[in-house]
Copies of this chain bind each other. A is one copy, B any other.
Amino acid sequence: MSEAVESAYARLSVMEEGEFAGWHYWEGDPYETRSGPFFHRREADGSFVSAFRAEPRHMNGAGFMHGGCLMTFADFALFAIATDALAGDSAVTLNLSGDFLGPVAPGALVEARGEVTRGGGKTIFVRGMVTGDGNPALSFTGIIRRLSRR
């Protein structure tokens, strides 16, 4: 796929069908694919939005989205938000913190947006918000560490 960016580990591919046709996702990440897959794309203003559609398989025993699913999506979103700061470099998560603000029900459009609060160096700081149908669900912060220059 010509749009694909090869990383050391996984391949950034473009979804070709369905609700997220034209969005990017990572192929070759078993847990993320199985949890999601999750998608991201660049918006007109240059920022990145991540998204997926909530299904019954994402829920906990109470019928709302599992906190672990929200955190897994946030971990995905960290790297989408940091796309420009990473400039193609590999990175690992050092810290991920989340405040759970409200429930997400099956059928909701789940999105994550955020900003790099400090980039440029080896340590990149991000903060963001996950929403379900536009309502706050998870406020998160993350610190990622660049592993290598490409």
| A residues whose Cβ falls under 8 Å from a Cβ of B | 7-10, 26, 28-32, 34-35, 56-63, 65-69, 71-73, 75-76, 90, 92-102, 117-118, 123, 125, 127, 129, 136, 139, 141, 143, 145
Contacts of A100 in B (CB 8 A): 92-96
Is A67 within 8 A of B75, CB to CB?
A: yes
Which 8 A-B pairs have CB atoms at the shortest separation, nearest pair first?
A68-B72, A10-B61, A31-B66, A9-B61, A97-B97, A29-B61, A71-B71, A101-B118
**A57 surroundings in chain B (CB, below 8 A):** 30-31, 34
Kindly identify which residue among B63, B76, B102, B143 contacts A99, using a CB–CB cutoff of 8 Å.
B143
A108 to chain B, nearest CB (A): 14
Give CA–CA (A60, B10) in the complex, Å: 9
Main secondary structure of the interface of A (DSSP, over half): mixed
Give Cα A145 to B95, complex, Å.
Answer: 13
10 A-B pairs with C-beta separation under 8 A? A29-B66, A30-B56, A31-B66, A35-B35, A96-B100, A97-B98, A99-B118, A99-B143, A117-B139, A125-B139
Whether A68 lies near B66 (C-beta < 8 A) is: no
For residue A103, give the distance in angstroms from its CB to the closest CB of chain B: 9
Bound form: Cα–Cα A73–B60 in Å: 13
Question: Are B97 and A141 interface neighbours, CB within 8 A?
Answer: yes
